[in-house]
Structure 1
Amino acid sequence: MTKKHVFTLLGVLVVLALGIGLGTTFNLFGQGAAPNKTFLVMALHWGWVAAPVSGDGRVVLKEGGQGTQIVVKKGDTVRLILYNPEGMGDLHDTLEAQSADFYKGKYGKDKYDKDVAEMQKADSPIRQHSFKLDAFKDVNGKAIDVTVKDHELKMVDFKADKDGTFSFICNVICSVNTAGHTDMKGELLVEK
């Protein structure tokens, strides 16, 4: 995936996020402070892609465009709008096509073909993802481990109360890859 593809993807995500984010900039849950940083985080089979929606948070693409680092400040109340575009048509198909060469290069054509066949089944467990961030609890004190099914949109609010770099993953175990979606990783960088 080239930088041009990544920036095009981010542009599309920002447009999507604006439509979604305008209605979510207020604290919908009545818990804690309203978020001052909001990000759209979209699950793709080659990794998480994020785009800032509101606040001065930023996103850094990791080398090669594979993976995302979300950057916030210590003390921020952060909202993540999690979206799984699985099977959403042209946009998803385009993104998957752009990542196909990366995927084939890493796993081989046979595994790629097997995974694509599995993804085309409507009830396949590979069509769902989870967002797991062990380092923080949500505003209700619960672990951040959210399953996001095909075409589903979920939100998580949390307080970035410690600085450092923290990993988030998809921990779905699917029939295609017994290790789960292990390449779907990203980082949350909380600056002082």
Structure 2
Amino acid sequence: MEEVRNFITAFLKAEVEASNASIKPTLEDYNQKLNFMNSFCVEELHNKFGMIPHNELKSEEFYERWKDEDSSNIRHIYKISHYKDDKYGEVYVAYISESNPDIEIFLYGECLFVACIDSELKIIKSYTFGDELLVKYKFEASEGLRDISFKTLKKPIHIERYLEPIDDKDSMEHYLKDI
């Protein structure tokens, strides 16, 4: 589980570096950092985390507006659940915060499915924690590989909890479940 947590942490660091580079007038650096971030994911998830490659710089006013901004915060990891899957073998689901989380507010934002593809760990699916009707937050909208989901996963064989998402009732309810 430590290897998966380190993999997720490395991805989240790459995401922050790409995000921070996106507000600097260095096009090549940004695209390289975005490509590195994408290397953690299957192709179906490339450019699906709010950033896309750029062919040209934005306006000078854009960079001027962001020049004194603090660096983004890395997402929180709340828990990782380990599953056995018939097709993908070992599958891990990491529950994380929204991007650039507040240091004082703890709530879910997404979850990432991780599996070994061609002998290396890859993020294979991403779910957003939300609800279009604002009735009850749950994991609904997903991107990534289509042949794996919460419905295809069975009962987890191990769960590690790291940080409680205490600032949202729905997040906390989900966090406490053995899923």
Which TM-score band (shorter chain)?
0.3 to 0.5
What TM-score do the two structures reach when normalised by structure 1?
Answer: 0.31
Q: Which structure dedicates a bigger proportion of its chain to strand?
A: 1
* More relative contact order, 1 or 2 (CA 8 Å, 6+ apart): 1
Tell me which structure has the larger Cα radius of gyration: 2
What TM-score do the two structures reach when normalised by structure 2?
Answer: 0.33
